[in-house]
Amino acid sequence: ADNFPPGGGRHATMPAVASGDFYRRPLADELVPFSSPRGRKLFEEAMQGRYMEAYWTLAEHFQCQAHPAFCGLTTLTMVLNSLQIDPGRPWKGPWRWFTEEMLDCCKPLSDIIRYGISLREFATLARCQDADVDLHYASAESIEDFREAVRLACQP
């Protein structure tokens, strides 16, 4: 009985933690939740500095990942769709739109489900879709240089 959340409701009949699964995961202490007061302040500062220009088209093309291993693929579909890159093949009916399943040209989806994709594979997939990619590794440059590259990429 101690496994049930207090207060009743629909979750009162469900264990707080089922074997091997979870609902949400805590954010690491050094990360800032987007909707927190600090997250909102950072967003406001970025807006004022005009570092959020890409946010609007990305938000218009937001997608939830269809599989836990698809974080890279889903991010790439959002970026490709926000850049208005034509996939050159239909998604559904006459609509041409990127989805994760369309990004299997370099690695089978079954492998992506099992292993995910690396940043290099992400860049390769983007290039295969005619995106202009300038790959940077944070570990290969100073934090100041990396932040400047991000600033330049985020301004109009």
Q: What is the pTM of this model?
A: 0.78
pLDDT in the model for residue 19? 60
Question: Which pLDDT value is given to residue 26?
Answer: 87
Compute CA 76 distance to the chain's CA centroid, rounded to the nearest angstrom: 8
- The reported pLDDT for the residue numbered 139 is 87
Q: CB burial class (10 A; 0-12, 13-18, 19+) of residue 67?
A: middle
pLDDT exceeds cutoff 60 at 31: yes
* Tokens 């934090």 sit on residue: 143
First-residue to last-residue Cα distance in the chain = 57
Query: How confident is the model over 87-140, as pLDDT tens digits?
Result: 999 999 999 999 999 998 889 999 999 999 999 999 999 999 999 999 988 889
Looking at residue 51, its amino acid is Y
User: What is the amino acid identity at position 4?
Assistant: F
CA distance linking residue 70 with residue 100, whole number of Å: 7
12 — pLDDT class (breaks 50, 70, 90): very low
Q: What's the confidence (pLDDT) of residue 13?
A: 43
Q: Across all residues in the chain, what is the average pLDDT?
A: 86
